[in-house]
Each structure stands twice: as structure tokens, then as C-alpha cells.
């Protein structure tokens, strides 16, 4: 059985410390940073919802049942994990303001309702703001946390996909590899489209994580032939002169990018192209493996190998441990930050790696 590769921290063990997180949902608070605000008019009602201990998918099921709507007509910008307190926008079409005002679940509530002209779509957010409690820390750990956050603010955060991407015990990766075979691709057509997408994205995520590990200690160093990611707008360009572009990388304006394989994915040149091909070969994959995927669910894309961290701070949480606050762009995982700080983030039930809440998906592919 192919198991997801365990991401490794970039920082040395000397700078890490012990801390428990997600002991209670209130220990992991995430607030969505919207790409735009609802205008106040239109046929879609945007609900600003706070939920505790409920995943976004379960929230959508609740709304669908209460309003007797097809869940496909309900829009979200990103998915949020269950073991958390989270606030995010959800759009609903075909309900009155009075119906919106009455909505309430056992573990969620509507804080605000405003109208907008369009349905909210996946990826329509800037990122997420996190507030995390780390329990059972020791004296001196506050200084380590602040130093680690400062270093990540300067040089970025390794942009690993978190445990959540791979399903329970990593089973999605194995299933995804099976359906990428020629025979499995035909079988996969009978799987619900959303499930099919999650399985294939687990394989793409594994390829990407392995590339991050290969370049872990030079994530901000550009290579000739790299496809550099512009953080401001998500565009990429070929690096023809690394020395000329390196200043932009040093200020986190741009970063090297890695693969989410598929027939439409832009290919790098030179050593990076060879590295990506070697990682694919390790898994027994070729570009044709993804070209067979039905529904256009594996078109391919690029993803930055590192991401900026902003507004990062750490302070004592009396009686608990430490409290961290920081922001991440969409598609990034909070445990990517914790992995650079803690000795024992959880990885599929082990005691030394990272599960998580995706910065937009904490959550499904962007």
C-alpha cells in the first residue's frame, strides 16, 4: 500500500518545542478572509456563519435539509475542519431574508446575512486568519515560538498539503493511485464526481509534497527553468535569469512552484523538470496517467512551494500554554506552520506530524 509521504520540518529540532493543539474546538479558531464583500442586493443570500465542531460539508448537509435545496446550489469559498471554531461565508439561492434570519443549527449560527448577485465559488477568498492555543508548553517556549514565526515571516512557510488531503489513514492516496491506472480510470467513472475529485487530488498532493521535500532547504532559491509563482496574482513565468529574479524571491514577491500534475499543467525547464519527472517515476506515474481522468477533474496546475505568513504573533495563554495568531493565503494549511514549531504534530495518528485545517479548504482542491 502506498502511504502519503510524511512532510518534514525545515527548521532544526533544536528550535522545536512540545505543545498540544485542537484539544478543544476553541483551541483552533479560523476566520475566512473574503475576496470580496456581498454587495447587498441580488438573488443569492450570503450567510456569515460561525460553527463549532462541525465540518463545512456537514454544515452544507444541514442547510440543504433545512431549506430543501440541492446542496450543489449552495456555495462556499473553502472547506473548514470539524475540530475547530470557524467563521466563513456560505451562499444560498432561492430563500427569503426571513428564512435566512431563522436559520440555526445545533452547533452553528448565522452572524450576518447579506445579498449578492453571484453564487460564492470555491477559491473565492484571500486566505484565512488563525488563532491557535498550544497546551502543555514549557518555560522558554514562547521565545522559540516567536523566533520561529519571525523566521517564517521572513522566508515563508513550506506549502505542504496536510493530512486532511489524504483521507482517513491516507486511504485516498491508495484509491487515487488505483483509479489512475487504465482499468481503474474506467471503474472510476462510476464513483460520485466529488469523491473522484478528492481521490485524484490526493495523488496530485503526494507528488507536490515530495517535490517540496526535495527542495526543502532552498524553497526561496530560484533555479534556471523554474516556473516562478507571483504571490500577488497567482501567475507564473519561466525563470531565465535566476540571479536577476532572486531579489524578488528574497522579499517573498515570488517563489518557485511545484506540480499538481495534469495535461494542462505548465512544465518547468532544466533541473526542475527533471526533478518533477523523477518524483512521478517514483510513484509509477506518467503525464498520460492524468490525461485519462474523466470529467476534466485533473487538468493540472502549479502551486507555490512556499507561502507568505502575515500578522504572526505569540503570547502566553494563562492556564493553558501559548496562543498563536497568523494569516495564510488560500489553499495553505495551518499545520504547515505548526510543523515548523512543534516536535509532535499529528500525522495519521502518529505522534510526530501534522493534521490540520486548510486555509481554504483547510480544505477540496482550489
- CB-count burial class (<10 Å; 0-12, 13-18, 19+) for 125: buried
Distant-in-sequence contacts of 187-194, Cβ < 8 A, 24+ apart? 188/293, 188/294, 189/294, 193/295, 193/297, 194/364
CA count, 13 A, side-chain hemisphere, 68? 1
- CB-count burial class (<10 Å; 0-12, 13-18, 19+) for 9: buried
CA distances from 106 to 45, 63, 66, 99, 183 (A): 21, 12, 12, 17, 44
Best CA proximity match to 148, nearest among 306, 329, 21, 14? 14
- CB-count burial class (<10 Å; 0-12, 13-18, 19+) for 19: buried
Active site residue ranges: 81
Do 314 and 153 touch, CB atoms closer than 8 A? no
Nearest-angstrom CA–CA distance, 330 and 34: 10
Amino acid at each position: 500500500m502506498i502511504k502519503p509521504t510524511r512532510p518534514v520540518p525545515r527548521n532544526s529540532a533544536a528550535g522545536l518545542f512540545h505543545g498540544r493543539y485542537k484539544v478543544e474546538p476553541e483551541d483552533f479558531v479560523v476566520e475566512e478572509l473574503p475576496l470580496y464583500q456581498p454587495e447587498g442586493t441580488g438573488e443569492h443570500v450570503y450567510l456569515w456563519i460561525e460553527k463549532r465542531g462541525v465540518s463545512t460539508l456537514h454544515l452544507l448537509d444541514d442547510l440543504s435539509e433545512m431549506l430543501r435545496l440541492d446542496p450543489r446550489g449552495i456555495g462556499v469559498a473553502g472547506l473548514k475542519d470539524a475540530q475547530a471554531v470557524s467563521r466563513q461565508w456560505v451562499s444560498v439561492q432561492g430563500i427569503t431574508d426571513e428564512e435566512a434570519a431563522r436559520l440555526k443549527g445545533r452547533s452553528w449560527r448565522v452572524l450576518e446575512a447579506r445579498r449578492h448577485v453571484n453564487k460564492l465559488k470555491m477559491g473565492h477568498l484571500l486566505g484565512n486568519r488563525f488563532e491557535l492555543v498550544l497546551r502543555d508548553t514549557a518555560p522558554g517556549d514562547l521565545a522559540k515560538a516567536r523566533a520561529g514565526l519571525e523566521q517564517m515571516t521572513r522566508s515563508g512557510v513550506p506549502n505542504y498539503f496536510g493530512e486532511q488531503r489524504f483521507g482517513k489513514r491516507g486511504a485516498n492516496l491508495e484509491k487515487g493511485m488505483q483509479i489512475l491506472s487504465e482499468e481503474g480510470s474506467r471503474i472510476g467513472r462510476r464513483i460520485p464526481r466529488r469523491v473522484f475529485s478528492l481521490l485524484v487530488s490526493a495523488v496530485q498532493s503526494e507528488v507536490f509534497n515530495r517535490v517540496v521535500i526535495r527542495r526543502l532547504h532552498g524553497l526561496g532559491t530560484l533555479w534556471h527553468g523554474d516556473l516562478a509563482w507571483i504571490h500577488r496574482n497567482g501567475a507564473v513565468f519561466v525563470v531565465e535569469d535566476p540571479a536577476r529574479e532572486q531579489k524578488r524571491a528574497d522579499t517573498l514577491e515570488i517563489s518557485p512552484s511545484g506540480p499538481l500534475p495534469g495535461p494542462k499543467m505548465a512544465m518547468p525547464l532544466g533541473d526542475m523538470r527533471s526533478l518533477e519527472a523523477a518524483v512521478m517515476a517514483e510513484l509509477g506515474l506518467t503525464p498520460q496517467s492524468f490525461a485519462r481522468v474523466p470529467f476534466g477533474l485533473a487538468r493540472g496546475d502549479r502551486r507555490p512551494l512556499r507561502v507568505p505568513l502575515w500578522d504572526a504573533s505569540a503570547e502566553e495563554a494563562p492556564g493553558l500554554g501559548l496562543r498563536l495568531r497568523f494569516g495564510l493565503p488560500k489553499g495553505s494549511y495551518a499545520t504547515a506552520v505548526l510543523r515548523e514549531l512543534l516536535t509532535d504534530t499529528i500525522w495519521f495518528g502518529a505522534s510526530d506530524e501534522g493534521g490540520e485545517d486548510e486555509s481554504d479548504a483547510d480544505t477540496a482542491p482550489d
